[in-house]
Amino acid sequence: MIAALKGLGGFLLNKLARLGRANLFLFSVLGALTFLFKRPGLLIRQLYTVGVLSLPIILVSGLFVGMVLGLQGYANLVDFGATSSLGTVVALSLIRELGPVLTALLYAGRAGSALTAEIGLMKATEQLASMQMMAVDPFPRVLAPRFLAGCLAAPLLTGIFTAVGILGGYFVAVVQLGVDGGAFWAQMQAKVLFFEDIVNGVIIKSFVFGWLANWIALFEGYEASPTSEGVSLATTRTVVVTSLAVLSWDFLLTALMFGAW
Amino acid sequence: MFPHSPRLKTVGSDDAPLILVRDLSFHRDDRMIFNNLNLDIRRGQVTAIMGPSGTGKTTLLRLIGGQIRPTTGRIEVDGQCVHELSRQDLYRLRQRMGVLFQSGALFTDLNVFENVAFPLREHTRLSERLIRTLALMKLEAVGLRGARDLMPAQLSGGMARRVALARAIALDPMMILYDEPFAGQDPISMGVLVKLIRTLNDALGLTSVIISHDVKETAAIADDLYLISEGRVVEHGTPEALHHSSSPWVDQFMHARPDGPMSFHYAARPYVDDLLSRDSG
């Protein structure tokens, strides 16, 4: 009994210590962001790596998700003769929930895991240590540009995912299933609100998810054991922890933004 | 292959050691790594710190570089106590230190030229033209000016270490710390590195500290040699003196004898007891 309690206590203390280190890490990254005013080239390069290189998976996924929404929405609305609302259903689903959440999950799988592996390998191959020994702080030089680039890329990718998804839904609903195109766009225009839906969903939610995904990815890489097994474990942990964090924070944000609480 | 360079007296040299380690103790978890270690690294010399694997040689290098802090004791570099410096002062001191890591630690996203130019770009406001000239001079010194456009993945282990050496001397440091520079090298690469370390030390008026367990190569270029084991200095002297030491431990290490005071077997319970035991492990 005592041994079990001791084990549980030790486990919780370890988790708390790790959370503390993660927060200290975040403060160090945030404190280093001002350096990017002096070296904007570092940020632009990372925006390309985490943003532009994520475009193919975002475009393809967005298109298929929109098409599926169009199909499912039509199958349900047609019984009530409400297919003219399909544009609203597709747009609101994507803008409020699926766009930010799925983009964040895809981002964690593609860019987040890559960030963890990159930082973990830089640690394992002593690149971070050599940088420190050359009197160059890796926080402003390596970590801050990646963090900010990810936070900026997430809303942009979410916007693209959502736009492509709506086009996919339009293609299925209007071109394939014969829903009236004017009604599709007009209903969407009437029901989707800029501040309540787009700012909350596409901008705020996705920024929070981008923040979480990059914080977790960089911290896991920075804390990874400097071995191939350590980097592999850290990469897996990044995807798992980010997915859980995004889904739980999505519930919290949805309750705050759109819920009745 | 290498430009002839007479041995120069270190600029600004005086009698005080460049690195001074006093009563150094360092523990990792419950394990003692160093216990009252004392050593002096004299200016302008090549000093080797040798010992069997796992004796904490690389840890000592990290302590000297201020990457970790000692449990007790004092480490001074050029009169400054490393672990008492502010972060800003430590970074200022590190600009005068070069470190050659065992793996080379080249930045894999930069080519050879950019790796060497990296510290110049970070710490100076020199024009691009001057940075190019300096980086090419450093690469020429290690014989790899022609490899400037290669990426680290395209280099052999020996070439990677030479590029890392060019990067380590980019800011004309007062000293270079070498972490196992000969480990895993073929005989030619090893010969090149041995000669380079000595030549650069003398031509640039550096102070070099080599952490190694390659006795022959290290003893060939070292002026001063420390042997450490079990957290303390076992013997100290010139390579010549240590070769003829009467200490059985030094004799075993310097002449690579498989058995001696340092046992071939890792500490364990008696062999027969272990074989007859019913334990699963």
- B176 shares contact with chain A (CB less than 8 Å): no
Enter the DSSP assignment of B65: T
Contact B48, B224 (CB under 8 A): yes
Query: Which of B106, B116, B177, B179 to substitute to test the interface with A, most A CBs within 10 Å?
Result: B106
The confidence score (pLDDT) of residue B111 equals: 94
Q: Which of A242-251, B123-132, B271-280 is the least confident region?
A: B271-280
The confidence score (pLDDT) of residue A162 equals: 95
Residue type for B188, please? Answer: I
- Interface pTM, i.e. ipTM: 0.80
> Which residues from chain B sit within 8 angstroms of residue A125, using beta carbons?
103, 105, 108
Q: For residue B24, what are the β-bridge partners? A: B37
Q: For residue A85, what are the β-bridge partners? A: none
Q: For residue B98, what are the β-bridge partners? A: B176
Contact A204, A193 (CB under 8 A): no
Contact B162, B106 (CB under 8 A): no
Give, in order, the Cα–Cα distances in Å from B20 to each of A195, B86, B257: 65, 19, 32
Residue B11 confidence class, pLDDT cut points 50, 70, 90: very low
The structure's pTM equals 0.83
Cβ–Cβ gap B122/A134 under 8 Å: yes
| Exposure string for B116-129, b = 16+ CB within 10 A, e = fewer | bbbbbebbeeeeee
HSE-CB for B107 with a 13 A CA cutoff = 22
Written as six digits, the tokens of A143 are 């970590």
Written as six digits, the tokens of B43 are 């200016």
Question: How far apart are the CA of B103 and the nearest CA of chain A, in angstroms?
Answer: 7
Mean pLDDT over residues B223-243, rounded? 86
Q: Rounded distance, CA B18 to CA B66, Å?
A: 15
Tokens 């003829």 locate to: B244
Q: How far is CA A257 from the centre of its chain?
A: 18
Residue B8 has pLDDT above 50, yes or no: no
The confidence score (pLDDT) of residue B218 equals: 87
Cβ under 8 Å to A: B residues 110-129: 118-119, 122-123
The confidence score (pLDDT) of residue B10 equals: 42
Q: Rounded distance, CA A67 to CA B68, Å?
A: 56
Backbone phi, psi, residue B212, to 5°: -160, 165
Backbone phi, psi, residue B26, to 5°: -145, 130
* Chain A interface, Cβ < 8 Å to B: 121, 125-127, 129-137, 141
Written as six digits, the tokens of A260 are 């009745």
Q: How far apart are the first and last CA of chain A?
A: 41
Residue range A165-191, pLDDT digits in tens: 999 999 999 999 988 989 999 999 999
* Residue from the list B95, B99, B103 with its beta carbon closest to the beta carbon of A125: B103
The confidence score (pLDDT) of residue B2 equals: 41
Q: Rounded distance, CA A93 to CA B249, Å?
A: 75
Give, in order, the Cα–Cα distances in Å from B273 to each of A17, A208, A221, B263, B267: 42, 61, 45, 19, 14
Percent helix / strand / coil, chain A, rounded to 5:
90, 0, 10
* Residue from the list A127, A132, A135 with its beta carbon closest to the beta carbon of B107: A127
Q: Rounded distance, CA B201 to CA B219, Å?
A: 15
The confidence score (pLDDT) of residue B209 equals: 93
The confidence score (pLDDT) of residue B248 equals: 80
Q: Nearest to residue A242, comparing CAs of A234, A232, A231?
A: A234
Maximum CA pair distance of chain A?
Answer: 70
Written as six digits, the tokens of B85 are 């410096």
Q: How far is CA B226 from the centre of its chain?
A: 13
The confidence score (pLDDT) of residue B256 equals: 76
Query: Which of B94, B120, B180 to substitute to test the interface with A, most A CBs within 10 Å?
Result: B94
Q: Nearest to residue B154, comparing CAs of B185, B110, B121?
A: B110
Q: Rounded distance, CA B216 to CA B256, Å?
A: 10
HSE-CB for A156 with a 13 A CA cutoff = 14
Q: Rounded distance, CA B104 to CA B161, Å?
A: 5
Q: Which of A257-261, B237-241, B246-250 is the least confident region?
A: A257-261
Written as six digits, the tokens of A120 are 């973990």
